[in-house]
Structure 1
Amino acid sequence: MSSLLSIGKSGLLAAQVGLSTVGNNITNANTPGYNRQVAIQGDTGTQYQGFGYVGSGTEIQAVRRYYDNFLATSLRNAESNQASLDAYSAQISQIDNLLADPTAGLSPALQDFFNGVQDATASPASAAARQSLLSNAESLASRFQGMSARLTEIASGVNNQITANVGEINAYAKQIADINLTIAGLSTSTAEPNDLLDKRDQMLTELNKLVKVTVVPGDNNMLNVSFGTGQPLVVANKAFQLGTSTSPTDVSRVTLGYQTDAGAFTPLPDDVFTGGQLGGLMEFRNGPMDRAQNSLGQVAAGLVTAFNAQHVLGQDENGAMGTNFFNPIQAYVGTNTRNSPASTADVTATVVDAGGLTASDYSVDFDGTNFNVTRKSDGKVTQINPFPQTTPQVIDGVAYSITGTPQQNDNFLVRPTYTAAKDFSVAIKDRDKIALAAPIATAAPTANAGNGKISAGTVDTNYLTPGNALTATSTLTFDKASNSFSGFPAGQDVTVTANGSSTVYPAGTPVPYTDGANISFGGVNFAISGTPADQDTFTVGPNTSGVGDSRNGALLAGLQTKNILDGGKATFQTTYAQMVNYVGTKAREAQISGTAADAAVKQATSAQQSVSGVNLDEEAANLLRYQQAYQASGKVMQVASQLFDTLLSLGN
């Protein structure tokens, strides 16, 4: 009877464990990260009774969880991608809304500014038109500065989120390392602490939403966690801590790396942080964020440089040569804080050519002999030659001037357009100093017998060279016999350009006449056409009555539609439009990819839950099954008790 009683008891205990397991599944159906469990039941062996083997009951061999590592990893990866796209999309939508705003964007302010230039050109003597131009210029500067401030604000928010994410990553890494140790201590060859395994998996899930990690099984049921290209985060029960620091070349930028307990910081490349919120933030910052700031600055710096270059070639209402209309743009130069203390090298960079500007950043490095300027967008290297310098060297529209004594491995970061929008400001405050007139005047006397004509004339940058500006009127006389002109300013060579071919005539020598050819000397440019008669004269001299002249104003207004930026391929408006289009396209891509990522997470969740999730209908059925098994086992024990009582009664 004792064996029958033991068999019933073992069944009762097994059913009880089954009921407890099912009940635990039901109550944790909505617990995040919970994997349903099952009681694994087996027999306890048999005993030989002469006629054969008789079973001795049952036992619970283990309580195991339904867990598929492949499905769990697939779900984690899908959630990591989803978190990355969500973080990226949330940030880029802010820039997209800023740039594309039809009223608060840059396009209306640019249009208003050039409308002001055109109005002033149409009425150069009007004080109201000139003042309106200055007001529009100030409004344009305010728009550039406001957009730059908003972009800086977004960048600061990204820095804060990166720092917060690093703190969360460190917290999860520490918890995973601690729970690794606990699991190792509680695990046996036949049993595992299922609740702790679920808790650890949930931590990995949350960690993976912050940064994509790779999980590899370790010794004694522990897990090793790494990110990027194998950078360790958790090894057994040791957690590696990440930290943040300001960039050695840009204090407004946060860099990431390993942080030791002693406070030492080892930087890591940005591209090792992929996936999850952190990966999305890094991709946004190093892509659309930087490009938006640099491209907006490219428009600002290009406009300042091109407008100033033309404005200084004009004449203001006081008869003086024009000065800079906008304050010149200095490129951002960040000196690496890790440079040798013995170094006294200093790098300055000034934007001088709008057409040569790019939206790229540059790294300036000293190899012990030479300074090399590397364009980061494509890796193109340009050597500073000669060094030490005699004059600044222009690279991609930026004049580099390097002084001091460098040390090997000195490094500088140059961002030509990074702060240009912030620094955009109007230099002229007096409307009388707006240089709308041209500094020279040409004329053909009515007494001329021929039909020769002379163009209004322009000046180029050579006119600004000391000694080249006209102080007296030159009278050019045509000699029909030699078909040439004389009377050009003494000491200045004359260049004649016809059909793209230029010929230089030494100072003091007659200049052959070519109908319609461009004639230039000392930065003065004009053309004579027609058929002049013998001894016909033409005059070229300073503009002494330029109050109503607007020739330089017309050239300033023409900059709006002139292809100046991107090597002479784009206007200011088209460059800005390209930036808006780029950001808009990236924002749309993020939305589409986000929708696909949501679907992938839903599909991966469904697959994972089909194995590990709790099905309440199934658990209800199991509950009834174990209830019946419990009752049946109890009946077995009752029968065994009755049989035992019968045996005892036979003895009486």
Structure 2
Amino acid sequence: MTIMNNALSGALASQVALSATSQNIANLQTKGYTRQAALLATIGGNGPRDAGNGVAVSQLMRFSDGYKSQQMWRAASSVGQFSQSQPYLTQLERVMGDESASLSAGIDKFFAALNAVAGVDPTSSALRGQVLTAAGLMAQRFNNLNNVFNSQLQSVVQQRTAIVDSANSAIAEIASLNLRITHAASTGTSASSLIDARDQAIDRLASQMALEVSDQPDGTRNISLVTGESLVIGGVGGKLAASGGVTSVQSFSLSFASSTFNVNTAVLGGQLGGLTTFEHNVLAPLQQGVADLARQLSDKVNATLSAGYTMSGATPGKPLFVFNAGSTSAMLQVAPGFQASDLAFSKDGNPGDTGNLQELLTLKGAPISVTGLGTVLVGDADTQLVGKLGVDSQQNQSSLTTAETVRTQAEQDWQSTSAVNQDEEAVNLVEYQKMYQANMKVMSVANALFDATLQMMG
């Protein structure tokens, strides 16, 4: 009977719809889950007096919007880019701005010790000893800060290597999911959970580097870097590699199929791009600027001392500092064996003369050339380096705040389309339940009519 068939199709369709609704409710708190719904379509009749042949579930529809997903992945790249460098910037600000570790305080104390000698007695062994002590402490501040730079560089190298390993895992997962999604489509199996897993893997990868994602007719997604190199095509994935480290420039490459490409991480965006940009634009220039200050300050002090006489009055001065370019632990140090009596404060050989000492005091206002700043005064160099670092940190923090806001809005947009709405699903649950019950009632009526017809026929 047509009535019975129609009711049966309606009951079966409502069961599928109830199943989709129950799946949505079960995954109410599942991150990245995309809600589904049964798409119902009427089955047409066969003649002018045939109302129709019931209803069918044409497909299980996923509520997804490719544009909103793309926006979310782009925002993830921006957040990754600025979030990775901010901890390093904050640490440098705290170290360089700390009174107990700042270069400015060390330089001030060194010149203050020189000034104390000039104002009291240039032959005082105690005051000369204070100058030597202040020189050693100032050198130690340079070395401590250089150690912080080297430690951060090592951390950046290790972090980028870890990101490359994590990215390779995500690339392999996306390629594998592409294959499984294609297989599911060919066998008529639902691929919704596989698509969700792939989208989450893409989201993780997007936080590590900016991506271009393109949908293919077979349901797969091809992934490439913003610079054009392919990471995933169908079920084939590439592999990133990092080589080098702290003692040499770290380089990156991408192997895909039988080809290998060099990758410039500075333009990749995401976590990889953010770390490389921080290293090239902030860390390396800052470390070089501090080295410039240490080298030129030591050169000027050594040259001035070499032009004077020690406390004996007959011995010419000798260098106080030794600058070790490229040293990882002792960039600046007091010359081995240097004694307080070796300080050449006299200009004319008279132990009580302070002519050369006065010239030493003027060095604090002497101009030097510092990477990232240009020509500055010795006494102002560290302050300006710290100021520039503060500007870089504030700009990065501002960009991070903006990126996080955009990411939050992108997530909310995605959720408005794809996330499970508890109230909406509760309504659907009641409606499909009623639909099922109504169709079962129709089946009961149809059965009663069939029995009545049999009785009439006798």
Coarse TM-score class (shorter-chain normalised): over 0.9
**Match runs of 1:241-390 below 5 Å:** 241-246=239-244, 251=247, 253-258=249-254, 267-274=262-269, 276-318=270-312, 319-330=314-325, 332=326
Contact 2:310 / 2:344 at 8 angstroms: preserved in 1?
yes
**Match runs of 1:240-639 below 5 Å:** 240-246=238-244, 251=247, 253-258=249-254, 267-274=262-269, 276-318=270-312, 319-330=314-325, 332=326, 419=327, 422-427=330-335, 429-438=338-347, 440=348, 543=349, 546-566=350-370, 569-639=375-445
Between 194-203 and 216-225, the greater mean CA deviation after superposition: 216-225
Matching residue of 1:394: none
Matching residue of 1:649: 455
Matching residue of 2:169: 171
1:421-454 per-residue CA deviation (whole Å, 9 max, x = no partner) reads: 841111152122111112x4xxxxxxxxxxxxxx
Amino acid paired to 2:331 = D
Matching residue of 2:88: 91
What is the count of residue pairs matched by the alignment? Answer: 453
- Alpha-carbon spacing, 1:204–1:129, altered in 2? closer, same or farther (3 Å): same
RMSD: 2.3
Larger Rg: 1
1:259: how far off? 5.5
Contact 1:64 / 1:194 at 8 angstroms: preserved in 2?
no
Q: Which secondary structure does the structure 2 equivalent of 1:229 belong to?
A: coil
Deviation >6 Å, runs of 4+: none
Amino acid paired to 2:252 = L
Q: Percent identity between the aligned chains? A: 28
Amino acid paired to 1:624 = V
Amino acid paired to 2:306 = V
1:41: how far off? 0.5
Separation in 2, partners of 1:565, 1:575: 9
Q: Which has the higher contact order (CA 8 A, sep 6+)?
A: 2
Q: Are positions 1:103 and 2:87 aligned together?
A: no
Amino acid paired to 1:553 = L
Structure 2-normalised TM-score? 0.93
1:277: how far off? 2.0
Matching residue of 2:33: 34
1:83-102 per-residue CA deviation (whole Å, 9 max, x = no partner) reads: 22221212211111111112
1:191: how far off? 7.4
1:595-652 per-residue CA deviation (whole Å, 9 max, x = no partner) reads: 2222212221222211111111111111111000000111111111111111121232
Amino acid paired to 2:57 = I
1:112-134 per-residue CA deviation (whole Å, 9 max, x = no partner) reads: 11112222334221111111111
Separation in 1, partners of 2:374, 2:118: 24
Contact 1:300 / 1:421 at 8 angstroms: preserved in 2?
no
1:329: how far off? 4.3
Separation in 2, partners of 1:649, 1:228: 76
Separation in 2, partners of 1:241, 1:568: 42
Amino acid paired to 1:106 = L
1:34-76 per-residue CA deviation (whole Å, 9 max, x = no partner) reads: 111111110122121xx53320111000001011111111111
1:569: how far off? 3.8
- Alpha-carbon spacing, 1:420–1:630, altered in 2? closer, same or farther (3 Å): closer
**Match runs of 1:212-251 below 5 Å:** 212-218=210-216, 220-246=218-244, 251=247
Amino acid paired to 1:78 = A
Structure 1-normalised TM-score? 0.66
Contact 2:320 / 2:338 at 8 angstroms: preserved in 1?
no
Separation in 2, partners of 1:569, 1:282: 27
Amino acid paired to 2:344 = A
1:230-275 per-residue CA deviation (whole Å, 9 max, x = no partner) reads: 122112111111111115xx6255332236899x98642232321x
Separation in 2, partners of 1:212, 1:53: 57
Instruction: Determine which structure has the larger helix proportion and give its number.
Output: 2
- Alpha-carbon spacing, 1:555–1:421, altered in 2? closer, same or farther (3 Å): farther
Matching residue of 1:155: 153
Q: Which secondary structure does the structure 2 equivalent of 1:64 belong to?
A: strand
Separation in 1, partners of 2:361, 2:187: 84
- Alpha-carbon spacing, 1:108–1:204, altered in 2? closer, same or farther (3 Å): same
Q: Which secondary structure does the structure 2 equivalent of 1:221 belong to?
A: coil
1:169: how far off? 0.3
Matching residue of 2:74: 77
Separation in 2, partners of 1:74, 1:633: 43
1:189: how far off? 11
Q: Which secondary structure does the structure 2 equivalent of 1:114 belong to?
A: helix
| Structure 2 segments unaligned to the other structure (5+ residues) | none
Contact 1:124 / 1:550 at 8 angstroms: preserved in 2?
yes
Separation in 1, partners of 2:279, 2:394: 17
Amino acid paired to 2:340 = R
Matching residue of 2:123: 125
Amino acid paired to 2:24 = N
Contact 1:26 / 1:614 at 8 angstroms: preserved in 2?
yes
Q: Are positions 1:134 and 2:132 aligned together?
A: yes
